[in-house]
Structure 1
Amino acid sequence: MQGRGRRLRQHAPDATTVVVRTDGPQPALVFGLTTGAGMMVSPRAFSSPDLGRAPVGAGAYVLDQKATVPGSKWVYTRNKNYYDPSQQTLDRLEIVLIGTAQQRVAALRTGQVDASMIGDAQELESYRRAGITTAISEGGDPIGVITVDPSGPFADKRVRQAVGYAIDRAALTGTAFRKGMSTPADQLFSRGNTGYADSPAFAYTYDPGKARALLAAAGAGNVPVTIPAMPGPQNKTEAEAVAGMLDAVGFRAKVVSPPPQMIGREIYSGKYPLAYVPVFVPDAPALADALAPRGGSMNPTGKPYTQALELARQAARASVDDEAKGRELYARMMTSLTEDGVVIPAFWSPVGVAYAPGVKGLRPWAGGYMGPPVYGVTVGGKG
């Protein structure tokens, strides 16, 4: 196997063992193997044209094809071959598609559903006004500015840092869409995620005067910058707000909307110096693998971020025997990327769930990267 600039060599010494050798530390490899990239699919299932509609897996619950209505309702029942039956506390799990927040609140109030994911702060307030119990993850999915291509004016660290001081995090999280749910962030990853520091050694504050001074010191004025927006009207609105904040300190920013089906490839193509995005990685090891090395999926520059890469390598080695030391080094790596103006945190967008009184054990993950797990969840005292 070969990635962008990295190689993985593997062999199978026996029927149940695969040995993987890499050309250097790959801190995100284990996480990557737990995602779609690491799926092991039986040859029989893989060759079936129905695999997309009839998935085959080893999870706690399996799709009931007869009860499922594609595009509307997905029904799951217990997997009789699951390795830990104690975690299968539900007899049946239904996921239904309900189009609007108003309909979701009504469905929960009337008992049509037992739980609902919360889309934004306005929906959260609707549940609370209705007296429905809610749970919000600590921290959340990181939203911020990534310097994709530090060339031209952005080759100067002071210009990149000016972006960090220009962002008004309180304003971004104070909108009706975010208020009461999202939290201004002084670092990319929140508590519970590797890379978080209790007291970060460097953090940006909202200081437009300092941003202007940094641009002046760099001899950079009226700096043009095009920012690609993620799909959706709210994402474009926020990207335009960030563009306005940059304009106020001496940039000339504009927002574009790349085709949604190509958004990831487009953002990290090297076409744009900056991106205002949800950072779709769960922690510092995954970010290190994607951003720090030459050829990383978030690094189109052809050059490594040397200091961050070395700290990531040290952290990967240390984590084998001393997890606390590994976390400390990953936190230093994140500080390095933040101070260098490569990673500029804005806020954390958490995962929220609303649920009926009879639901027990439903809690979002710390860090808020994914929806709440269903292991151990019960409804009305029964599965």
Structure 2
Amino acid sequence: MFTMTRRQFSALLAAGLTLPQPTLAEGSAGKTLRVRFYDDPAGFDPANIFRIENENIAFNIFSGLTTYDGVTGDIIPDLATSWETVDNKTWTFTLRQGVKFQKGYGDFTAEDVIYSYNRILDPATASPYRSELAGIVKMDAPDPYTLVIELDAPNGNFLHTVANYHQGQIVSKKAIEEAGDQVRWQPLGTGPYYLESIDVTSQLVLKRHEEYYGGAAPIETIVFSIVKDEATATIALRNGEVDLVMRSNREENLEILKAEGFEMNSVMNYAVALKVLNPEFAPFADKRVRQAFAHAIDYGAITGAISPSLSQATDSILLPWMPVYSDNVPKYPYDPEKAKALLAEAGYADGFSFKHLGTSAQGVTELQQFEIDFLSQVGIDMQMELVDTPTFNQRRNAGEFEMATRLLPAVNPDMILFSYLHPSNMVPGGLNGARYDNPEITEMLEAARAEPDAAKAKAMYETIQQIVMEELPYVPSYANNVFWPGKPSVTGVNINYLAQVNFHSVDIAVA
């Protein structure tokens, strides 16, 4: 891993390292916020959007029927002002009136919601989020601002399904049809900002949606400069070339910025990174091999050594702040001898080799180097297969890997469990890259979602976690913390548990 000392930072600063200056449209006025964007943009179509940096853009362009409070994470109204249900099966939403789509695309109505959801459900769209809406059996609009949705079974978590995230984001039919095969680069919604321009090699520019229902945002223009290298991003902030760094994930950079008085905007323990093991690769079809894998790597030691501020080892696919989380599950402490014994029982006493799919933009990380070393000590040879980010997304979504990593931020634990464990979500139609299909778990997932008694539902969710952590289709590795360092003058940077920032609340204090 490349690390940088304070002396090296000073040398680069003295050398005059600067970023290309943002290019804005003629006549730009008002406040401009400059934000570091850390990877190649992969598109912003809610039907197939992936990766948190892209989702941050979409979160500010689109709206859902509901959304998440940036501070508490609670479900709050968005395009719907209120909702009713007596059985968690039939939901009636009262929609906000006077909402305008960006760029003159007209008024938002219930028909836009129906179109957006039907587009996700259409197999031709090939959305990995199709299963999230698969429970819908009927949608009606008695009038332009009333929407009635009937589900095939009670779902007490449905307000999460229709939130401003992935399948819940509402699009304009006219805009989608006009964009054609360029839809991922021409997003258009009802949110506080619209995409004015994009150069996939250098920057994205968002402009304030003046007719946003919540009022015009304090900042008129947001320039996202693509800066992949962490050290360069840190220097750019220190030089004043950016005002805010979207995701700083190097310990040494955070230490320097904190010492120099930059604001350390953060959210802790927000999502679990999982190893997705493809059972179509013979060794990973054996539960004992999966368990051996878990015993072979000491994630506590790794995170403590390289990123104590940024991550911590975890032993569940859920997080402790989630209401149905249970600590009463099988654990896999670091035990290389146990790992070797399990491998021998499974017929792999001499070990085996496999490929770990990753991105060339990220390269082989220090954490992965540690994983390679730990696994080699029990006879497992992990080889990195690095591809460009769009190819990585395509192959991971299609399940074309031996092992990949998946991190799914969610406020709703049911979303994580269904996404990873329900057979209807199996790749390529969903996020179940482990091809997990346990009829007992499937039945319990559906029963727990429909159960109105919270205590009974929690007991079922605990059993689900116990069985899944014993069978281990996914290996939890660490839970992430997210930091967006910024100038002290940049206020209102509230990172939610989806690692998203609502830029409508962000402002720049004037000295």
Q: TM-score, normalised by structure 2?
A: 0.61
Aligned to 2:325: 196
What is the deviation of 1:262?
A: 3.1
The equivalent of 1:132 in structure 2 is 262
Q: Which amino acid aligns with 1:160?
A: R
* 2:189 corresponding residue in structure 1: 57
Q: Which residue in 1 is equivalent to 2:469?
A: 338
Quote the Cα distance in structure 2 between the aligned partners of 1:57 and 1:365.
21
2:313 matched to 1:181? no
Kindly provide the CA deviation profile for residues 170-190 of structure 1, in whole angstroms up to 9, marking residues without a partner as x: 3432455x3431212122333
Contact 1:41 1:56 in 2 (8 A): yes
What RMSD in Å do the two structures reach over aligned CA positions? 3.7
- Does the 8 Å CA contact 1:294/1:303 hold for their aligned counterparts? yes
Q: Which of 333, 340, 343 in structure 2 is aligned with 1:215?
A: 343
Contact 1:268 1:299 in 2 (8 A): no
Match of residue 80, structure 1, among 190, 211, 215 = 211
Q: What are the within-5 Å matches in structure 2 for residues 364-379 of structure 1? A: 364-366=495-497, 369-379=498-508
Q: 1:328 to 1:356 in 2, by over 3 A?
A: farther
**Do structure 1's residue 231 and structure 2's residue 359 form an aligned pair?**
yes
Identity %: 20
Among 291, 310, 315, which residue is 1:161 paired with? 291
Indicate the residue corresponding to 2:102 in structure 1: none
Equivalent residue for 1:309, pick from 442, 452, 464:
442
Check whether the contact 1:143–1:276 (CA below 8 A) recurs between aligned residues.
no
Partner Cα distance (2:436, 2:187) in 1: 40
Is residue 75–residue 93 contact of structure 1 (8 Å, CA) maintained in 2? yes
Distance change in 2, residues 1:73/1:162 (3 Å): closer
Which shifted more, 307-316 or 280-289? Answer: 280-289
Could you tell me which amino acid in structure 1 is paired with residue 189 of structure 2?
G
In the alignment, structure 1 segments of 5+ residues that lack a partner are none
Verify the 8 A CA contact 2:495 2:501 in the aligned structure 1: yes
Gaps of 5+ in 2: 1-120, 124-129
Residue of structure 1 equivalent to 2:149: 19
Structure 2 counterpart of 1:356: 487
Q: CA deviation at 1:304?
A: 1.5
Contact 1:312–1:330 (8 Å) recurs in 2: yes
Please say which of residues 245-254 and 264-273 is displaced more in the overlay.
264-273
**Equivalent position SS for 1:350:** strand
Give the structure, 1 or 2, with the largest relative contact order (CA under 8 Å, sep 6 or more). 1
Whether 2:229 is the aligned partner of 1:94: answer no
The superposition leaves residues 136-166 of structure 1 with CA deviations (integer Å, 9 ceiling, x where unpaired) of: 3111332232232177444432222111111
Query: Do 1:239 and 1:276's aligned partners in 2 also have CA atoms closer than 8 Å?
Result: no
Partner of 2:50: none
The 5 A counterparts of 1:28-39 are 30-31=160-161, 34-39=164-169
Q: Which residue of 1 aligns with 2:86?
A: none
Count of residues in correspondence between the two structures = 369
Alignment partner, residue 378 of structure 2: 249
In structure 2, do the counterparts of structure 1 residues 51 and 329 end up closer, same or farther at CA, with 3 Å as the change threshold?
same
Following TM superposition, by how much is the alpha carbon of 1:229 offset from its aligned partner in structure 2, in angstroms? 2.3
Q: What is the alpha-carbon distance in structure 1 between the residues aligned to residue 356 and residue 321 of structure 2?
A: 30
Q: Are the structure 2 counterparts of residues 239 and 79 from structure 1 closer, same or farther at C-alpha, using a change threshold of 3 Å?
A: same
For 1:281 and 1:134, locate their aligned partners in 2 and report how far apart those are by CA, in whole Å: 20
Contact 1:185/1:348, CA 8 A, preserved across alignment: yes
Q: For residue 133 of structure 1, what is the amino acid of its counterpart?
A: E
1:266 paired with 2:395, answer yes
Distance (Å, rounded) in 1 between the aligned partners of 2:506 and 2:131 = 41
Give me the whole-angstrom Cα distance separating, in 2, the residues matched to 1:301 and 1:357: 43
Contact 1:118 1:124 in 2 (8 A): no
Structure 1 range deviating more: 116-125 or 297-306? 297-306
Q: In structure 2, give the amino acid aligned to 1:206.
A: Y
Q: Distance in 1 between matches of 2:329 and 2:184?
A: 47
Alpha-carbon distance in structure 2 between the residues aligned to 1:58 and 1:347: 36
Counterpart AA for 1:341: L
Match of 1:291 in 2: 420
Which sits farther off after the overlay, 33-42 or 120-129? Answer: 33-42
Change (3 A) 1:258 1:74: closer
2:334 to 196, 203, 206: 206
Separation in structure 1 between the aligned mates of residue 488 and residue 131 of structure 2, nearest angstrom: 49
